[in-house]
């Protein structure tokens, strides 16, 4: 496999115009089991204390390739209308590092006996850090004058979301970061055209469970992401569920520069524990340089009293 510095690719895919970099939230293959990271209205929807840990290694084989780790916890309060959550994401790309620390609040309205509509608010801080010494010493970027004045601080942000769902379907709409934050202090200089913004991103998610027979179910899911200053992307996936224990399926992500196909598997080890794995294979020009992307998920339901969990949680 060819070895190539990540910034050689990043400068082509992201900075070809040298005018704008729109920072986006990390993307996940198993977004349908990690919804709290993008939609605060999801908090408490699983009707119990839910803890999710996820690690993603992207572009395996490239020096400085992206790695993302996240841990989240959310649960309903006693009256079940209010949900609270907390999520922390650590995202590394070469010399860059983003840390997202956000709390979530949701309020649920029962539209009918089976249908619920939740509204959510997310608030917290994003920390950006650039290893400037290593970055500027790299021969692939040292000659670029726009990468010379980045901040190293915590920046506040807020997000909103809505989540409409029944047991066998859901529809979500969210904007997890609605404040524009510029990490390049030199952007105030009229002679500098390069800015590094945490741009507003909009996420539309949906899923449905079809019963094929008594032991098999089919669950298609979709995610569409719109970010100001970046191309639209969408994820399509479909899972087969066997005996309420084993999920297996495939995925397709369209992105102008890094489209992928993938495989997903998920196993309900016990009523409290679930383990998931996803693999993505690139079908764009990046394919010769990388071994793909690997993602591992662990979900643990801390407490699941029967009287409160009325049916299996598919989402």
Q: Residue 216 has what pLDDT?
A: 96
74 versus 32: the higher-pLDDT residue is 74
Specify the residue for token string 């609605």. 178
**Cα 139–145–151 angle (5° rounding)?**
100
In order of start, what are the domains of the chain with their CATH numbers? 6-302 (2.40.160.40)
Share of the chain above pLDDT 70, in %: 76
Least confident among 4-8, 49-53, 302-306: 4-8
Q: How confident is the model at residue 60 (pLDDT cuts 50, 70, 90)?
A: confident
Predicted confidence (pLDDT) at residue 5 exceeds the cutoff of 60: no
pLDDT at 138: 57
pLDDT at 268: 92
For the chain, the straight-line distance linking the first and the last C-alpha, in angstroms and rounded, comes to: 38
| Cα(153)–Cα(127) distance, integer angstroms | 6
Residues 6+ apart with CB under 8 A from 63: 3, 4, 5, 6
Handedness of CA 303, 305, 308, 309 (dihedral sign): positive
Exposed e or buried b for every residue in 246-284, given b needs 16+ CB within 10 A?
ebebebebebeebbbebebebebeeeeebebebbbebee
φ, ψ for residue 63 (rounded to 5)? -65, 130
Give the pLDDT confidence score for residue 65 in this predicted structure.
84
């Amino acid at each position: 496999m060819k070895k190539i510095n990540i910034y050689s690719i990043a400068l082509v895919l992201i900075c070809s115009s040298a005018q704008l970099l729109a920072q986006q939230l990390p993307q996940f293959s198993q977004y349908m089991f990690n919804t709290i990271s993008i939609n605060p209205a999801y908090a408490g929807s699983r009707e119990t204390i839910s803890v999710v840990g996820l690690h993603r290694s992207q572009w395996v084989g490239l020096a400085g390739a992206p790695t993302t780790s996240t841990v989240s916890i959310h649960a309903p309060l006693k009256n079940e209308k209010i949900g609270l959550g907390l999520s922390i994401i650590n995202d590394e790309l070469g010399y860059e590092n983003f840390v997202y620390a956000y709390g979530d609040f949701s309020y649920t309205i029962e539209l009918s006996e089976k249908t619920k509509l939740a509204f959510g608010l997310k608030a917290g801080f994003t920390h950006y850090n650039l290893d400037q010494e290593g970055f500027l010493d790299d021969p692939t970027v040292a000659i670029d004058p726009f990468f010379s004045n980045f901040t190293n601080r915590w920046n506040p942000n807020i997000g909103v979301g809505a989540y409409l769902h029944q047991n066998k379907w859901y529809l979500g709409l969210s904007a997890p970061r609605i404040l524009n934050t510029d990490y390049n202090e030199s952007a105030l200089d009229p002679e500098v055209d390069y800015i590094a913004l945490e741009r507003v991103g909009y996420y539309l998610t949906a899923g449905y469970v079809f019963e094929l027979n008594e032991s098999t179910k089919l669950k298609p899911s979709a995610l569409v992401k719109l970010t100001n200053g970046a191309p639209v992307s969408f994820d399509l996936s479909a899972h087969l569920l066997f005996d309420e224990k084993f999920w297996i399926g495939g995925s397709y992500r369209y992105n102008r520069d890094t489209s992928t196909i993938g495989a997903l598997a998920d196993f309900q080890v016990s009523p409290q524990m679930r383990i998931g794995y996803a693999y993505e294979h690139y079908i764009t020009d990046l394919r010769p340089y990388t071994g793909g992307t690997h993602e591992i998920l662990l979900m643990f339901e801390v407490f699941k009293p029967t009287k409160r969990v009325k049916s299996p949680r598919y989402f």
